[in-house]
Amino acid sequence: MTDRPILFSGSMIRALLAGTKTQTRRVLQGLGDQPIVEYDGMYMWKQGYRWGAVTDPKFPPGVRFAIGDRLWVREAWRTESRAYDDLAPTDMGGEETVIFEADADWKLNKSVGRLRQGMHMPRWASRLTLIVTEVRVQRLQEISEEDAAAEGLLSWRYQDCDGDPKLDGRPYKATLWHWAQPETEFDGFSSATGAYRDLWDHLNEARGYGWATNPWVIAVSFTVERRNIDVGRP
């Protein structure tokens, strides 16, 4: 079992808090030209004359997650007071009151500390801990509709076509999906997979790992505990 940090965007933090996000996918780095093949329902890698399961901890690129790992969540944050603005997180003692950017129950004012990106959140400030329950290696586009929904997407039942010119006044009922709060109830995707594809490209296309490239990914399933990793279980 290993403790490690994991970074999430604001919309995904809200999904974790709502209990709708129980999976995440991260690009499998360091593959290069090393082949991965499917054999008897498993993905295997070959290095020289040796074959091994991709999920083997000795896998050269490093599948950096394993069942039982504890992941402490990093997110955008502030201190409650500007008095700490000149302090680096490593110089704080942990007694500072933290405001989480993803929350909607606070208002920005002159006394609130400056915005700090999630990558700079220290362990003591984290409020969410994830316990890894499953690790899979797959191509991105292998994601199922059920798994896409477990990535923390928003869904709603749309039953009225009034005001939507695309539907020409015809009765219409559907479940729509999105990864962020849409501007109108019409602005959704007809499938969870479609919404997840849009989310993935929003986060990864500029890095060269867009949906169309179909990269190898690590699919991690987990349970969410609303506590700091170093605080006893409730």
Q: For the domain made up of 3-28+63-225, give the CATH fold.
A: Sulfate adenylyltransferase (3.10.400)
**Hey, where are the domains in the chain?**
3-28+63-225
* Local confidence band at 4 (pLDDT 50, 70, 90 cut-offs): very high
Predicted TM-score (pTM) of this structure: 0.82
Residue 41 Cα distances to 33, 37, 80, angstroms: 22, 10, 51
Q: pLDDT band for position 56 (50/70/90)? A: low
Cα–Cα dist 125/98, whole Å = 7
| Residue 199 near residue 2, CB atoms below 8 Å | no
| Residue carrying the six token digits 């000795």 | 58
Is the pLDDT assigned to residue 218 strictly greater than 80?
yes
The CA distance from 23 to 133, in Å, is 10
Higher pLDDT, 88 or 49: 88
Q: Is 137's pLDDT higher than 60?
A: yes
Question: 35 vs 30, 51, 59, 148, CA distance in Å?
Answer: 12, 10, 12, 26
Q: Is the pLDDT of residue 150 over 90?
A: yes
Which of 130, 128, 122 shows the shortest CA–CA distance to 95? 122
User: What is the predicted pLDDT for the residue at 155?
Assistant: 85
What's the mean pLDDT in 22-38? Answer: 77
| Beta-bridge partner residues of 119 | none
pLDDT of residue 110: 77
Higher pLDDT: 58 or 16? It is 16
